[in-house]
Structures are given as C-alpha cells and as structure tokens.
C-alpha cells in the first residue's frame, strides 16, 4: 500500500462532523489547531493534499511531518470558536503551534470527546523519527518558509510560524546530537 493509499484509507475513519482538529507531528504533538464548519475530514484532506490550504501553500507546515489527526466534533457550530481558542491556548503553551495567528482562549462548559486517527503507517512514522532523516528535512522546511517570507510575503503570522518552527528544530537538533 502506498503512503497516499494508507492516508486515504485512514482519513475515512476521521469524522466529517463540524468541529475542531489538531494536526499532530511524528511525536504525536499538535503542530496546528484548526476548525471546520463543513466537515473535519473534508478540511483535513485539503491540508494533507495541499489543495486550497494556506498553511501548506505558505510553507508553514510540512505535510511529511503530520502523523496523527485529533478531532473534537461538535453539533453546535457556535461552540467551535471557543473550543478552537481553548485548544490553541492549551497546546500553544506546551509547544508553540505553527498557526500564524494567536487565538484567544474560549470558555468551554465541557470538552467534547477526542478521536485520534493515524495518517501514516507506524513503520513509516518510526523511520521518519530517525534524527538523521528528520533534522535535514525540517531544516529544509524552515528554509522554504524563510524563502517564502523573503520573496513572497513578509507577514507577522508567517514569522510567528517561523519562530514555532525554530523551537521545534532545536528539539530535533538535540536528538540528532545524542
């Protein structure tokens, strides 16, 4: 099965209800929090295929790094902004997110149940975790974002993503040295 075939099959297990989602890296750590009012699966598929996805087009995220998708479906779309803000605040405090904009924490009466879908095969995820594979790939991604800022768009939200990326690169660098 090709990686694309695996991802396509895995995404069928992701809800297409409205709600909030997290794109998580090879370590299972959120790198981006987003929302969808037209279906989580539909929105995540656009990210993973780079079709109409600003965070991919702007070089903020490397799809290669995404191994898991977490989803919090909600029936009431008016709850989505508060849920997205809450999750952004929680995860951004743990490790800076690649989201370009900062979201305000929202008040939640209850956190909905989370579902988790792995979008790359486990053997492939483990291979990508090897520091001598991961570090050069993510350095290249960092340079693509720098180039994009210098040649296409110099914007604060992209610089925020760049800062989040360099913080993660520091972790990859330490693993490479050890």
Model confidence over 16-40: pLDDT tens digits?
999 999 999 999 999 999 999 989 9
Closest to 174 measured CA to CA, from 144, 143, 138, 148: 138
Q: What is the pLDDT of residue 47?
A: 87
Q: What residues make up the domain containing 153?
A: 3-177
The pLDDT confidence band at residue 53, using thresholds 50, 70 and 90, is low
**Beta-carbon contacts of residue 49 (< 8 Å; ≥ 6 apart):** none
Residue 51 has pLDDT above 70, yes or no: no
Q: Which residue shows structure tokens 């290669």?
A: 64
Domain holding 111: CATH number?
A: 3.40.1440.10
**The token pair that represents 39 in the structure block:** 């279906």
First-last CA distance in the chain = 33
Q: CB neighbours (10 Å) of residue 13?
A: 14
Structural domain total, the chain: 1
Q: Which residue has the tokens 């656009």?
A: 46
Arithmetic mean of pLDDT, 157-166: 92
Q: What is the mean pLDDT of the chain?
A: 91
């Amino acid at each position: 099965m090709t990686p694309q075939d695996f991802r396509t099959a895995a995404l069928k297990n992701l809800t297409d209800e409205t709600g909030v989602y997290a794109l998580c890296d090879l370590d299972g750590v959120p790198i981006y929090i987003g929302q969808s009012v037209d279906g989580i699966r539909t929105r995540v598929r656009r990210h993973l295929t780079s079709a109409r996805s600003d965070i991919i087009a702007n070089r903020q995220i490397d799809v290669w790094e995404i191994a898991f998708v977490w989803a919090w479906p909600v029936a009431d779309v008016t709850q989505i902004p508060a849920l997205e803000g809450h999750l952004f605040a929680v995860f951004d405090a743990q490790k800076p997110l690649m989201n370009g904009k900062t979201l305000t924490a929202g008040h939640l009466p209850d956190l909905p149940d989370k579902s988790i879908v792995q979008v790359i095969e486990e053997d492939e995820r483990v291979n990508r975790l090897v520091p001598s594979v991961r570090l050069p790939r993510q350095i290249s991604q960092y340079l693509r974002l720098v180039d994009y800022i210098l040649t296409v768009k110099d914007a604060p939200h992209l610089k925020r993503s760049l800062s989040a990326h360099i913080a993660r690169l520091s972790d990859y660098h330490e693993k490479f040295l050890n």
